[in-house]
Chains A and B, each alone.
Chain A
């Protein structure tokens, strides 16, 4: 590796991820940057809904806990933090981080907000064809609650150039959380597609945190992973030309090797030759992965070509309610009693005229997640009957769980452990928007 390297860590792979591995990296990892990726496809819609109900601030629910723990470690070491924990209310998240910094006595702590991903007005004003199904945004009508464009690294770079200690965003492309610091450090041009493609590769490998270090990998006796309860999070040492090696703290749990990197390389990638990002169309077809030491892997060969003229937009919309009920059976004949239970609930919902659709009748342990074409062999020793469906109203959705619960005294013998639930469904549809309609903006607050 030639020239100065920058070390950047992956501090979270989803909103509810473990916090200690990130703190461990901050304390002992000699990091320059730590990025927390906390905003899954639907999380921003949930945050938007919480903000509308005014029972939540609209930013990540773990923002306080993460930042109160991370800032006292990061600030004295000069580690800058980048995160999309702003969710649906980045300005409020930045105010909260500034308050936390004040509480912690970190005078002068400078937090940047990257906003501009909220494109609800533009989406409501126009009509946009949906990507993964028929129809257009207008078909969703008044059920639309949020529309957020996937921004690139531009705002993050501007924030770091403005001296931010922490950068908080809403919706950005996940790899941009990592690409932003690299562009800032190395001055990569906005049309240096090869570097931007390789930098996107770095971000893609880090964005799921523990998954690069053996999380979501173990298969006992086939693919063993040591000490998953103490799974370490990864970091990357990146050079000015995009050369990169990945590592983890040697005494943390997990493993980081060619196999874990290969799996993460293709994770949630569709066409490996065209990974569409706001900053570049990345190309991972010719990536090489070489183990260079224990828990140490060099990854090379990421490249890219000119960025798309459109940005992806997630449209969150209310999609009614899902009602569900479950009940278990065990012992000889368990499966037949489970099937009888499903039949009874099916008949009851029909006889009572319940206003429910898209019903699913499944036996957990037999066919609830198993999609293989051939029938299961042998009789399971226990099954759990599951009925789920949609309804337009909460009351109608309750009917499903109620009929499952009534099996206690009206159904087959030996049914136990009923659970029932109703949840509001906040669905996400995707579309594309002209990037000219989206303007990232940055502002700062200082503790």
Chain B
């Protein structure tokens, strides 16, 4: 199974920070989401992302986590030379993160 089977994502940017929110569709799957979407596993899955640090905020009321990836945007949208300067495609790339079957 992959993350896409249990969760949806939205990606935003602020300066040189990429922000990825991950939401479990069903409350029952939230514990699996918490186990799977750790900063370490995210860093490993997005192995070519130049992120300095990843912080995770948990929002149990929304069955969500908010990931803050510092230094991930090559200087941020205003000066980045990346094709996707906002990093809008990053959240979708997290959706094939392997997860343990329920």
On chain B, the residues within 8 Å of A374 by CB distance are 47
Chain B 76-88, CB-CB to A under 8 Å as 1, else 0, gives 1111011110000
Interface set, chain B 16-66, CB cutoff 8 A to A: 16-17, 19, 21, 23, 25, 44-49, 57, 59, 61-62, 64, 66
On chain A, the residues within 8 Å of B48 by CB distance are 367, 370-373
On chain A, the residues within 8 Å of B14 by CB distance are 268, 270
On chain B, the residues within 8 Å of A368 by CB distance are 83-84
Q: How many A-B residue pairs have CB under 8 A?
A: 121
Report whether A289 and B19 are in contact in the complex, using a CB–CB cutoff of 8 Å: no
Report whether A386 and B83 are in contact in the complex, using a CB–CB cutoff of 8 Å: yes
The one of A289, A324, A369, A386 in contact with B62, judged by C-beta atoms closer than 8 angstroms, is A289
On chain B, the residues within 8 Å of A270 by CB distance are 14, 17, 19, 66, 68
The one of B78, B81, B83, B89 in contact with A426, judged by C-beta atoms closer than 8 angstroms, is B78
Count of chain B residues with Cβ under 8 Å from any Cβ of A? 39
Roughly how many angstroms separate A133 CA and B25 CA in the complex, as a whole number? 36
On chain B, the residues within 8 Å of A386 by CB distance are 83
CB within 8 Å for A372 and B79 given contacts A216-B10, A285-B59: no
Q: Give A contacts to B, CB under 8 Å.
A: 41-42, 45, 131-133, 216-217, 219, 222-223, 259, 262-273, 285-289, 301, 316, 319, 322, 324, 358, 360, 362, 364, 367-374, 386, 388-390, 425-428, 430
**12 more A-B residue pairs beyond the given contacts A269-B21, A371-B90, A389-B81, with a C-beta to C-beta distance below 8 A:** A132-B16, A216-B10, A265-B62, A266-B62, A268-B19, A270-B66, A271-B68, A272-B59, A369-B82, A371-B48, A372-B96, A428-B15
Q: List 10 A-B contacts (CB under 8 A).
A: A41-B78, A132-B76, A265-B62, A269-B21, A271-B57, A272-B59, A360-B82, A373-B45, A373-B48, A428-B78
